[in-house]
Structure 1
Amino acid sequence: MSPSKADWQNLDEYLNVFAQITRNFMADLDERPVGQITPQLAKLPVSLQGEGFHQALAYLCDHIIPQLSASRGPRYWGFVTGGATPVATFADWLVSTFDQNLSFDGDSVACEVERHTIRWLCEMFDLPETFNGIITTGATASNFLGALCARQFAGEQQGIDVAKQGAYQLEVEIFATTPHASMIKSLGMAGLGQQSVTRVNAKPDSEAIDVQHLAELLEASQKPAKIIIASTATVTLTDFDDLQAISQLAQQHNAWLHVDAAFGLFARLLDDEKKRNLVDGIELADSITLDSHKWLNVPYESGVFLTRHLDKLFASCNVPAPYLASNHEAPSFLALGIENSRRFRALPVWFTLLAYGKQGIASWINQSVNLAQQLAQKIDASAEYELVHPCQLNVVLFRPACDNLQLDIANQKTAEYLKAINLDGRLFLSPGRWQGKNIIRMALSNWETDQLDIDIAIQCLQDIAKQLN
Structure 2
Amino acid sequence: MRPAHSAAEVLARLDDRLPAGPSDPVAVVDALVEAVGGGLTATGSPRFFGYVVGGTLPAALAADLLAVVWDQNAALASLSPAASAVETVAGRWVAELLGLPADVSVGFTTGTQMAHVTALAAARQRVLADAGWDVAADGLTGAPPVRVLVGANRHATVDAALRLLGFGTRTIVEVATDRLGRMRPDALRAALAPTSTATAHPTGQAGAEPPTPAPMPTSTSTPTPTPTPTPTPTIVIAQAGEVNTGAVDPLGEICAIAHAHGAWVHVDGAFGLWAAVSGSPARRDLVAGAELAESWATDGHKWLNVPYDCGIALVADRVAHRRAVSTSADYFVLDTAGQLDPVDWTPEFSRRARALAVYAALRSLGRAGLRDLVDRCCALADHAATRLAALPGVTILNANGDPASPEPLVALNQVLIRVDDPRPVAGRTHDSWPARLSGSAEATGSAGLAGSAGSAAARGDRLTRQVTAAVTAGGEAYVTGTVWRGRAAMRLSVSNWATTRREIDRAIAAIAGAIADARREPFQPDAAPAAVGPPTRPRDADPHRGGVPS
| TM value normalised by structure 1 | 0.89
Match of 2:83 among 94, 110, 119: 110
> 2:376: which partner in 1?
367
In structure 2, distance between residues paired with 1:194 and 1:450: 41
More helix by share: 1
Deviations 1:279-323 (A, max 9, x none): 111111100011110000000011111011111111111233101
Deviations 1:325-351 (A, max 9, x none): 513423322232121101110001011
The answer to whether the 8 A contact 1:34-1:76 is kept is no
1:397 aligns with 2:370: no
- Which amino acid letter does the alignment assign opposite residue 356 of structure 2? L
Match of 2:34 among 50, 62, 87: 62
Change (3 A) 1:140 1:133: same
1:148 aligns with 2:121: yes
Match of 1:194 among 169, 173, 177: 169
Match of 2:69 among 78, 97, 111: 97
Match of 2:328 among 297, 320, 329: 320
Q: How many residues align?
A: 436
Change (3 A) 1:139 1:36: farther
What SS class does the counterpart of residue 169 from structure 2 fall into?
coil
State the 1:118 CA deviation: 0.6
The answer to whether the 8 A contact 2:251-2:290 is kept is yes
State the 1:418 CA deviation: 1.7
In structure 1, distance between residues paired with 2:112 and 2:284: 21
1:406 aligns with 2:456: yes
State the 1:93 CA deviation: 0.4
The answer to whether the 8 A contact 2:105-2:345 is kept is no
State the 1:467 CA deviation: 2.9
State the 1:35 CA deviation: 4.8
What SS class does the counterpart of residue 109 from structure 1 fall into?
helix
Segments of structure 2 that go 5 or more residues without pairing to the other structure are 197-228, 400-409, 423-448, 450-454, 521-550
Residues 23-422 of structure 1: pairs in structure 2 closer than 5 A: 33-36=1-4, 38=6, 40-41=9-10, 42=12, 43-107=15-79, 108-170=81-143, 171-177=145-151, 178-203=153-178, 205-220=179-194, 224-326=232-334, 327-383=336-392, 385-390=394-399, 391-403=410-422, 404=449, 405-422=455-472
Deviations 1:10-31 (A, max 9, x none): xxxxxxxxxxxxxxxxxxxxxx
In structure 1, distance between residues paired with 2:462 and 2:142: 47
- Which amino acid letter does the alignment assign opposite residue 47 of structure 1? P
What SS class does the counterpart of residue 299 from structure 1 fall into?
coil
Match of 1:457 among 507, 522, 546: 507
In structure 2, distance between residues paired with 1:349 and 1:69: 23
State the 1:268 CA deviation: 1.1
Change (3 A) 1:286 1:85: same
- Which amino acid letter does the alignment assign opposite residue 444 of structure 1? V
State the 1:188 CA deviation: 0.2
What SS class does the counterpart of residue 195 from structure 1 fall into?
helix
Deviations 1:209-267 (A, max 9, x none): 11122112212269721110001111222111111111112221110100011111111
State the 1:364 CA deviation: 1.4
In structure 2, distance between residues paired with 1:414 and 1:110: 47
| TM value normalised by structure 2 | 0.76
In structure 2, distance between residues paired with 1:169 and 1:379: 55
What SS class does the counterpart of residue 297 from structure 1 fall into?
coil
Q: Percent sequence identity over matched residues?
A: 28
Change (3 A) 1:213 1:400: closer
Deviations 1:31-59 (A, max 9, x none): xx245573522222222213312321321
The answer to whether the 8 A contact 1:207-1:237 is kept is yes
Change (3 A) 1:51 1:321: same
The answer to whether the 8 A contact 2:5-2:38 is kept is no
Change (3 A) 1:354 1:141: same
In structure 1, distance between residues paired with 2:395 and 2:363: 42
In structure 2, distance between residues paired with 1:352 and 1:63: 32
- Which amino acid letter does the alignment assign opposite residue 304 of structure 1? I
- Which amino acid letter does the alignment assign opposite residue 461 of structure 1? I
**Bigger CA radius of gyration:** 2
In structure 1, distance between residues paired with 2:371 and 2:118: 27
The answer to whether the 8 A contact 1:201-1:213 is kept is yes
The answer to whether the 8 A contact 1:384-1:462 is kept is no
